[in-house]
Every structure is written in structure tokens, then in C-alpha cells.
Chains A and B, each alone.
Chain A
Amino acid sequence: MTKNTMIGLLFCTLSPLSLLAWGETYEVGQKNKSFTKDKLTIKVGDTVSFKNEDTFFHNVYSLSDAKFFDLGSFPKGESREVVFDTKGTVEVECAIHPTMKMTIEVQ
């Protein structure tokens, strides 16, 4: 193994870890058919963990340009994480209960 490939391998292994180390994780709950935060400001690379605190299923999705995702549906006590990797405004909703809405500002 050459020195270059060694460095390359090392870089490949470390870079995802270092990304994780840079980003912060924020928690947003889903309780009484609303998100526990209306608005959240985060930085590129940060993670948001959505936690269902109701006794029934919720969904989390966004069709925004800055982040397009669908976390499916999950029950009480479970969380799903999303890493926000692009700057912009992300409108987050629950498809099951469209009155559940929040905004994530990725800076």
C-alpha cells in the first residue's frame, strides 16, 4: 500500500466522522398534533431529530428545494433524524395532520 492510498483511506474514514462532529443535533417533538417548535434556525450539516410523543402515528416530510425528504410514519417514542446539508428555508409538515407545520432555517 502506497503512502498516498494510506492517506486517501484515512481521509475517507475520517471525513464522515468529522462531519458528524461538526454538526449539532436538535430535537423537535411531535406532541398534541403539533410540532414542539414553530421555527428552528440551524447550520448546514446540523441534524434534527424528530420525536413522536403522541400515542398515535405521525409523519414528517418536506417538499422544499433546500431539503426534500419523507420520514414515513412512526409511533410514540420513536425518533427519525434528518441531516440538513443545504442552505435555505425548509417547510416541514406532517402529511397525516397538515395543521402540523414548522419551518427550519438552514444557514
Chain B
Amino acid sequence: MKPFIISCCFLLISFNISAQDMSNLVFEAGHPSLSEWILPDQPPYPEGNKPTPPRVTLGKALFFDPRLSGDGNMSCATCHNPLMGWSDGLPTARGFQSKVLDRATPVITNTAYNNLQMWDGRKKSLEDQAMGPMEATVEMNMNIKSLFEWLNSNEEYKAMFAKAYPGEPIAAASLSKAIASFERTVVSNNSRFDRWIKGDASALSKAEIEGFKVFVDPDKGNCAVCHSGNNFTDDGFHNIGLISFGKENPDLGRYAEVPLKLMKGAFKTPTIRDIEYSAPYFHDGSVATLKELIDFYERGGDVKTNLSPNLKKLTLSKTDKENLELFLLSLSSPKKAFLLPILPK
């Protein structure tokens, strides 16, 4: 038995190294060549913030508590709404007093697996990001001083913080860590695709497997050039040629962080797990359906100025496109009821 185990390990290693070369992939349920798509149940977390149950409970209450906003009517969940695929179903977000914001609300689903947060990657971790919307006057517009005065005077929150982060003050650091801990529980890795790569041959149809091939094939869908790895993202930044980039004073995206020409109009590759639940698509919300999305990539984008060199016009048959859409739909974890927290008095 031992030599068999060892040779399996070697197989895994060698397949992992060369998985970008499609010829090494064997499109059979549970085949070791597909192991790079297996997403672990527990997303990574930083040292000192293991997501323990008291931390997750506290973070969940904070995430859904509208008293964290200036007008007392918006919580994190107002935009990152579990009923709307952890986003808001809007082309771009609505902020303080319903002001229309420039970018779409990113989904919370699997964002814990990302190396950088925000469409332009300006936040390094979930902890780093958590205070942002409360502080932003165009978003939750909260007076941060009064927020912590209130939390420090609320007996129930005080008890929850003491249990989650004993000895730590109730302040931006502990609040951010709690919200991040809750966000690390919003995981999608139980789709039919997941069951198929783990060995359940009945989990995907023949058409869906064909769609997966179109997805990874550089000469067909070329999707995996960016949507790579187990969370279907390269954690990278690409200008994909959206019409909004051709308008006057376009959103320059990543360029604000990394001032290189290549980054003008480049935005972070989002995960496509649960993509079915988070239309409309792209950072500008300009595409309403998966069919339109596939057509967009088939054209190789609309605005070619500063287009990512990794994008190209695609040659897809009608069947390729149908199969690709079916494959994308197979990435949805089953919908389940979400239990809301009980908020402190």
C-alpha cells in the first residue's frame, strides 16, 4: 500500500506544477490532475485571529447591526446581502442616503480566500477592510468615536467582545477581527462541480464537463487564464475592455494603487463560484446575464484601449457557449436558508 500512496503524492505534485498545460488534465470525476480545484473548507486566517465560535457570533451580530451606520439604517448586510448572493443585485452600490456609488458591491462569498480585498486591491486583508465602509462618508457614514462609545456602554456587546477577544479593548482592531471572522464562514465549496472533482461522477452532466473543457482551454473560452485555481481567481488585475472604460474620466481601478500604464482600468478578478446568485456582473454592473457575459468575452471586450494582453477574441461554437454557461451554473453551492443573528439590546 505504501508505494501506492507515495506515487499518488508524486502524481499530485507533478500535476499541480503543470496544471496550466491543458494536455495534463484528465476530465474524469476525482482525477488527481484536477486536484488544484479542490477548495479547502477553512479559508486562511491571520495569526491571532483564529475564527472561534465566539468571534464568529460577535462578527455576525456586528455585520447585521444597522446601528453601525450614521443614520442607523445600514449594516454591512445592507449591501452584502445573503438574500442577494452576498451582494445587492444592483449594477453599482447604493451608499449613504441611497447615493449611487461608482462600483458594484463585491460578493462576500469566498472573499476570505483572496490575497487582496476591494476591486482595486487597496486593502490587504478582511481585517484591513472592515472599518472602511463605516468610515466612508458616502457609505455607512458612521461617527467612529460615537460608535465605540456606544459599543463600550452596551452590556451585551461588552460581554460578547470579552468572550471573543479577552483582554482586548473594544476598538477598531477587535471589531475588524470579529467581522473578518464572520466573513470567513461565508464559503461556497459544495457545488456539483466540487462533488465531481472529489469523485462523484454523477454530479456533472456530459455537457457541463464539456463546458469545463471550454473554460480551461486557452484556444476556446480562455477563462482560466484569469479565473484560475480553486477559487477561480488569479488574485490579479486586468482591464477586460468594458464600455465604461471608454467614457470620459473612466474609473482607473488598480492604477490608483500601482501607477503603471498596464493597470489603467484594471480591476481584480472576482471568484466565479456562486456566480449565478450575483448578477449583474463586473465592477460596473454592466452585464445582466451569463449569456451576455459570454458574448462579451467572445468579442474580446468592447473597448480595446489598454486591454489586458491576456484577453483575445474567442472562437466558440453555439454548443461551446451553451456548455460553458451550464458549467458556470454548476459552480453554485445549493441555496440554503440563512439564520439571522439576535442583536444585542
Chain A residues close to B by CB (< 8 Å):
32-33, 54-57, 59, 61, 63, 70, 72-73, 75, 95-99
Check B102 for interface membership: any CB of A closer than 8 A: no
Partner of B218, one of A55, A73, A96, A98: A55
Chain B residues close to A by CB (< 8 Å):
17, 20-21, 115-116, 121, 218, 225, 228, 234-238, 254, 258, 260-263, 266, 308-310
Q: How many A-B residue pairs have CB under 8 A?
A: 54
Known: A73-B309, A75-B309. A95 touches B258 (CB 8 A): yes
B135 to chain A, nearest CB (A): 24
Is B262 a contact of A95 with CB atoms below 8 Å?
yes
Is A55 a contact of B20 with CB atoms below 8 Å?
yes
B32 to chain A, nearest CB (A): 17
* Cα(A54)–Cα(B21), bound, Å: 9
Can you list 28 A-B pairs, Cβ within 8 angstroms, ordered by A? A32-B20, A33-B234, A55-B20, A55-B21, A56-B225, A57-B308, A57-B309, A59-B260, A59-B262, A61-B258, A70-B260, A73-B309, A95-B237, A95-B254, A95-B262, A95-B266, A96-B238, A96-B308, A96-B310, A97-B234, A97-B235, A98-B115, A98-B121, A98-B235, A98-B236, A98-B237, A98-B258, A99-B235
Partner of A54, one of B20, B235, B308: B20
Is A96 a contact of B20 with CB atoms below 8 Å?
no
Known: A59-B260, A95-B258. A32 touches B236 (CB 8 A): no
Is A73 a contact of B262 with CB atoms below 8 Å?
yes
* Cα(A54)–Cα(B226), bound, Å: 13
- Write out the residue numbers on chain B whose beta carbons fall within 8 Å of the beta carbon of A73: 262, 309
* Cα(A72)–Cα(B258), bound, Å: 13
Closest to B228 in A: A33
- Write out the residue numbers on chain B whose beta carbons fall within 8 Å of the beta carbon of A55: 20-21, 218
